[in-house]
Structure 1
Amino acid sequence: MPIADTHKSGVLFVFAAGVLWSTVGLGIRIIEDAVVWQILLYRSISMSLFLYVVIRMRSGVSPFTQVRSIGFPSVIAGLSLVAAYSGGIYSIQNTSVANAMLLFATAPFMTAVLGWVVLRERVRVATWLAIAVAIGGIAIMVADKSGSVVLKGSLAALGSAFGFAVFTVALRWGRTGEMLPSVFLSGVFAIVVTFAICLFSGLPVTLNLHDGAISMGMGVFQVGAGLILYTLGSRSLPAAELALLSLAEVMLGPLWVWFFLGETASANTLTGGAVLLVAIAGNALSGKRRKPPPITLP
């Protein structure tokens, strides 16, 4: 395939992944009774089964075999995603989708700082400036939420972003660009953890048909299919373009709940979110000026 066509396909795949990921808020909003651990249990079951089939079809090798080849970094990556999933669902259940989605978008900045601390990766000056601007945006967003349940939701969203940052750094530590085996492992871990939590806290492990279907549908279409599209598309795009395309998820998430459910965001969320988006876009655009990595075909 010509490089230009490969690039266009990459843009399409990554954007489509962002569209699928952006539906998480809508999916959780239309859940009727299930709480975070029940949702995560059913979502993880369907996601793990789906990814197992896809990985076997793509590679001809069991994902467990691939996980063993990555080693301990894959375990860290998997566990960090369990924390990220839990924080993400809890945050959407306890704050606005706009607030949660915008705070999720801080993950690349956390990844940069964590990579600098753990792996001694160099952080550009432009990224440090963007991080400072992003912190200002976050401060505006949470300024009117002190002492409320909504503040816990905001902190959970930041915790979720940190979990994704740990996941990314763990993959770099393991020197692997293949994320699907570690995501599969995170689903297995999540099944064990959430089942145990439900069992010991007295939560039923059976859901009504409505909640169970939505939770399992999110595992296949929202998480699983989104990850596969992102994996296919990211191979032909530089990091700066990936960061810009990731804004589709952040922008569309609040749009879905506004259009279908009439949910709006506070003035602080919109103001701080605008500052945060400027920081993300500015950092990505500054990175585009650098020579992108060569495009390699699988």
Structure 2
Amino acid sequence: MQKTQGVYLLAPIYKGTLAMMVGVSILSVDSLLIRLIESSGWTLLFWRGIISALVVLVFTMATKPKQTMNALRKPSKNLLIGSVAFSLSTVCFVLSIEHTQVASTLIIINVSPLICAALAFFFLKETIELRTLIAILAATLGIVFVFYGKALPNASFGNMLALVTALMLAIYFVVLRESKSANAPLFLVFGGLCTAVIAILAGAEPFSLTSQEWVYVIILCAVVVPSAFILISIGPKFLPAAHANLFMLLEAILGPLFVWMVLGEVPSDNVLIGGSIVMLTLVLFTLSSAKSRHSLNKKPSE
């Protein structure tokens, strides 16, 4: 009976883990498709926002029509904050990809779980442990390596945008966790519309795409982004915010791999060194946290 109860209690963790792993794996194609679309970043952001918002809205209206309509009529504070954070993370991510190497962007974004842990400490009253502080310092060192001596003229700007992306993603996950992922898909709807408005104001040219670019845009905006983030938004319902955010590490491995396979973009030495430090830090942080949680869940021997 005790074993059966333990498996039952672990089931939500498995659901959150599976949702995050599949969602981030799908999202890893994002970087490659952005590079294949040669139009301006603002034009891509417009369609990314509009199309993904419409796809997710149709999905939510079909699955939860009453709940969706109520949320649309009277959006909560969490929904608005999370949507703005999601929108800004999208804008900064796409522009970062345009100004630096894909691997550099994804590696810097990997500091997001540590930022998330710090935000959870202040806003969700979760205790921040010594290992978390050590991990933050180590990851910062890795980012210094990524910034140092870049060969690309605008790489520093791209890296700064990646850092903003990491911060916005952390806020997004904390808000999702606080709201227990209530109406989570609608974060993508409001966030997508906000992204489209920002893109238009910044000078997007929606109908300047070539026929080939339209194919990539439809795949990215109607399939990859909506399906990935619907799955990713499930994670914080079952997992702590920082824990769920840690699965974004998978994108740093798969994203550059897809770009290297198709476009032959080899990461620089600085990116590899800094990335190794960040990756090792976060892996050790994850393993340490998991071991500690396992020990705390053990019942004392009678």
TM-score for the superposition, normalised by structure 1: 0.85
Q: Which amino acid aligns with 1:177?
A: S
8 Å Cα contact 2:177-2:240 kept in structure 1: no
Q: 1:226 to 1:194 in 2, by over 3 A?
A: same
Asked whether 1:63 is paired with 2:68, we answer yes
Residue ranges of structure 2 left out of the alignment (5+ in a row)? 1-6, 298-302
- Aligned partners of 1:136 and 1:6: how far apart in 2? 35
Give the corresponding residue for 1:204: 205
Asked whether 1:40 is paired with 2:49, we answer no
8 Å Cα contact 2:176-2:233 kept in structure 1: no
Identical-residue share of aligned pairs (%): 25
Q: 1:236 to 1:74 in 2, by over 3 A?
A: closer
TM-score for the superposition, normalised by structure 2: 0.84
1:101 Cα deviation after fit = 0.7
SS of the aligned residue for 1:275 comes to helix
Give the corresponding residue for 2:37: 31
Pick from 260, 263, 278 the counterpart of residue 262 of structure 2: 260
Q: Which amino acid aligns with 1:186?
A: G
1:142 Cα deviation after fit = 0.6
Residue by residue over 1:107-161, the C-alpha shift from the partner in whole angstroms, topping out at 9 and shown as x without a partner, is 1111222333445432122111111100000001111129930111111111111
Residue ranges of structure 1 left out of the alignment (5+ in a row)? none
Matches within 5 A, 1:1-298: 3=8, 11-32=17-38, 34-61=39-66, 63=68, 65-66=70-71, 71-145=76-150, 148-172=153-177, 175-178=179-182, 179-198=184-203, 203-206=204-207, 207-232=209-234, 235=237, 242=244, 245-291=247-293
1:51 Cα deviation after fit = 0.7
Q: 1:68 to 1:87 in 2, by over 3 A?
A: same
Q: Which amino acid aligns with 2:22?
A: A
Give the corresponding residue for 2:300: none
8 Å Cα contact 2:93-2:162 kept in structure 1: yes
1:193 Cα deviation after fit = 2.2
8 Å Cα contact 1:87-1:160 kept in structure 2: yes
Aligned pairs, number: 288
Q: Which amino acid aligns with 1:134?
A: A
- Aligned partners of 2:223 and 2:147: how far apart in 1? 31
- Aligned partners of 2:164 and 2:151: how far apart in 1? 17
1:218 Cα deviation after fit = 1.2
1:18 Cα deviation after fit = 1.5
Q: 1:16 to 1:118 in 2, by over 3 A?
A: closer
SS of the aligned residue for 2:202 comes to helix
Residue by residue over 1:80-114, the C-alpha shift from the partner in whole angstroms, topping out at 9 and shown as x without a partner, is 22211111001111111111111111111112223
8 Å Cα contact 2:113-2:243 kept in structure 1: no
SS of the aligned residue for 1:122 comes to coil
Q: Which amino acid aligns with 1:31?
A: I
- Aligned partners of 2:152 and 2:61: how far apart in 1? 48
SS of the aligned residue for 1:205 comes to coil
